[in-house]
Amino acid sequence: MNPGNAPQAAIEVRYKSSTSVLLIVAGSIFLAFGVLALVLGTFSLWLILGAILLAGGIVSRSKPFLVFDAGQSTMYMYGLLGNRVRTYGAAKGEQLVFDGTNIMRLTAAGKQKKIRIGSGAPEDVKRLQQTLWSMQQPG
C-alpha cells in the first residue's frame, strides 16, 4: 500500500479517557460494596467484579486499544488488560481502508467489514484515519 516509502512508526490508539474513568469509578464503588459485605460477614461477588473493573480502568490508562503497524499494514486490537484480542490487515490476508467515514477491512473473499473503534480516543482515531487515507492515495 505504501511502496517505496520508508516504514512508518506504529500508531497507537488509546482508550477514551471517559471509558477509563468510568471503569475506575465503577470498580471503586463495587469494591467498596464488596468490602462492606465482608465487614457485615458475607462474601459478595461485588468484591471480585470491583477488582476486575478497577484493574481494567487503571491498565486502560497506559495500554493501547489499537496499534497500527503501517510498515506491515496490520492492526492489532487489545483487551482491557493488555492482551491482544484481534488482528486485522495484511497478517490475515486482508486490506485495511478508510472510506472517509469508517475504517474497513476487505477480506480475501471480497467482503467489506467495518472495524469498530468507538472505544478509541478521538484524536488518536483521527490520526489513524489520516494515515490510512494517505496510504491509499496513489503516488
Structural domain that includes position 78: 11-15+65-136
Residues 70 and 117 in one domain: yes
Does pLDDT of 3 surpass 60?
no
Report yes or no on 46 lying in a domain.
yes
Residues 70 and 116 in one domain: yes
pTM: 0.79
Residues 131 and 111 in one domain: yes
Report yes or no on 77 lying in a domain.
yes
Report yes or no on 75 lying in a domain.
yes
Per the listing, cell 484515519 goes with: 129
Q: What b/e string do you get for 96-125 counting C-beta neighbours within 10 Å, with b at 16 or more?
A: bbbeeeebbbeeeeeeeeebebebbbeebb
Does pLDDT of 43 surpass 60?
yes
For residue 8, what pLDDT is reported? 67
List strands edge to edge, sheet with 84-89. Answer: 11-14, 64-69, 74-78, 84-89
Q: How many domains does the chain have?
A: 2
Residues 56 and 107 in one domain: no
| Nearest-5° Cα angle at 86, 117 to 12 | 55
Does pLDDT of 21 surpass 90?
yes
Residues 55 and 71 in one domain: no
Sequence-distant (6+) residues with CB within 8 A of 92 are none
Residue 33, Cβ density class (10 Å: 0-12 exposed, 13-18 middle, ≥19 buried): middle
